[in-house]
Amino acid sequence: MDILLINPPNIEEVKVESESTPLGLLYIKEFLLKNNFNVALINFGGERSWTDISSKLKGIRFDVVGITCYTPQRHSITKLVGLCKKLNADCKIVLGGPHATFLDKEILRRQNSVDFIIRNEGEYAFLELMNVLKSDKTDNIFNIKGLTFRDGSKIVSNQSRNCISELTILPPPRFSKSDFKNNKMCKGLSFSFERFSNDGNVACILSSRGCNNSCLFCCNGAFWEKQNYFSPEYTFRQIEYLYNDHGVRYFDISDDDFHFSRDYVRALCDLIVSHGLDIHWWCAGRVNNVDKDTLVKMKQAGCFMVSYGFETGSKKLLETINKNRTADQAIESARLTKEAGLLVRCTMTIGHPGETEQSIDDTVNFLLASQPDQIGLYLLKLYPGTPIYHRFVNEGGISDDYWFDENEKDLPFYTTESSVERQLNFRDNVLYKLSDHIVSKYHDNVFHNVHMTLRWP
């Protein structure tokens, strides 16, 4: 049985940055190889031609196709599924990822070419499904936790599966040279590394999966249940492998909250320093999980920047979006980070429920007080599985039909209280009031986001 894993293209939608290394699929690939399956992976993230994709698929044998399903690429995934079925009508199509997880039954109702959906974490459910497909014991399919499928005309959603508690049992991803080349095309990643020459490969790695929080606009808490770490030794070996075998010197640690466990962070940093790795890396964290000693140790181990999800400077909105921290904590974390010699990046989001001119003024005043070195200024977009999406559905602003309408290429805004135009005005107001401090920026015209670097007196 030949298994093909595909990172999908972004062709049918408004173009987004979809060229990143598909870490989730790489973990599944290595897990299947460890269990003696024949599996290949192809990354179509940078492709812009269905003719080229078709030509490449014709040269690959596949009985099962597994596709990561993210919301921005949903229409391209539908077309990719149809193309795979056209090339092999008997192949089985398996979707995974957040979009498929939270719309599993709707996808199976509306898209006959999709055979199975794996909800949440994928390694064990995918392995068990492959074992069933290669055997004659088809009734065992009802025992696969985390699987949604058709049983005749009925859609069956099996019991949910707990996330893997001991992640170190998973074999680490192995990369080819082509796995890195598309990262250089990603403007957001290049912008984050702009202080460095960035003439080498950038590798995205994970030291943990999941998040222990449930912010209104994010589905990660629901997708992963809680945060689980790989061991410090496991993560270090991954860095060391990329450093020695691929010459990687720049790392994007892509955890949602890298320093949730400060003991973990210190142990990993000690390994990097003791082995003398000359690397540069950045990470994301929460403002209530930092202290100066840990930040200093991160600096010594090559960290140059920490990104915090500040989101808003409004006390009321912080409570509304369930951030579970205060603006004062955020300002203090920025101060500690700078004292440790690290750059501060922050993400700010406009358009939360209750956003007003006053809350925008609060956000500007907060930014003037915290003085971040980089800002990612976002407009709130809606994704299936997020609390804000469910709220908008209940308010009659959207339904699941939206995701299957081929005329809807973009992601929707939360517009119950503010029109898109008003939210853009809010964004531009922030930019105007920060204009004296902005030294470089770029606009993401698809999502209406702005990334900027600032200089303070």
Per-residue pLDDT of the chain (457 residues; tens, 9 = 90+): 999 999 999 999 877 665 568 999 999 999 999 999 999 999 998 888 999 999 999 989 999 999 999 999 999 999 999 999 999 999 999 999 999 999 999 999 999 999 999 999 999 999 999 999 999 788 899 999 999 999 999 999 999 999 998 999 999 999 987 777 666 656 666 777 777 765 667 889 999 999 988 899 999 888 988 899 999 999 999 999 999 999 999 999 999 999 899 999 999 999 999 999 999 999 999 998 889 999 999 999 999 999 999 999 999 999 999 998 899 999 999 999 999 999 999 999 999 999 999 999 999 999 999 999 999 999 999 999 999 999 999 999 999 999 999 999 999 999 999 999 999 999 999 999 999 999 999 888 778 899 999 999 8
d(CA 262, CA 248): 25
What was the pLDDT predicted at 55? 96
The answer to whether the Cα torsion of 439, 443, 444, 450 is positive or negative is: positive
Q: What angle do CA 339, 342, 347 make, to 5 degrees?
A: 110
| 298: Cα separation from own chain's centroid | 23
What was the pLDDT predicted at 145? 98
**Overall pTM surpassing 0.85 (yes/no):** yes
Domains of the chain, by residue range, sit at: 2-157, 186-454
d(CA 83, CA 53): 9
How does strand 64-68 pair with strand 116-118?
Answer: unpaired
Q: Are 158 and 148 in contact (CB under 8 A)?
A: yes
Query: What does the pLDDT look like over 192-248, one tens digit per residue?
Result: 777 776 566 788 999 999 998 889 999 988 898 889 999 999 999 999 999 999 999
What was the pLDDT predicted at 190? 72
Phi and psi, residue 274, nearest 5°:
-65, -25
What was the pLDDT predicted at 187? 65
What single-letter DSSP state applies at residue 313? S
Q: What angle do CA 428, 432, 434 make, to 5 degrees?
A: 115
How many helices (H) does the chain have, and how many strands (E)? 17, 17
CATH of region 186-454, choose from 1.10.1660.10, 3.80.30.20, 3.40.47.10, 3.90.1150.10: 3.80.30.20
Element (H, E) at 307: strand 303-311
SS3 143: helix
**Nearest CA to 286 among 310, 316, 265?**
310
Q: Are 355 and 417 in contact (CB under 8 A)?
A: yes
What was the pLDDT predicted at 393? 97
Q: Specify the fold of 2-157.
A: Rossmann fold (3.40.50)
Tokens of 213: 């929080």
Of how many residues is the chain composed?
Answer: 457
Please report which residue ranges of 282-326 form alpha helices under DSSP H. 292-300, 315-320
Q: Are 250 and 282 in contact (CB under 8 A)?
A: no
Q: Which residues of 343-368 are buried (b: 16+ CB within 10 A; e: fewer)?
A: bbbbbbbbbbbebeeebbebbbebbe
Query: What does the pLDDT look like over 257-276, one tens digit per residue?
Result: 998 999 999 999 999 999 99
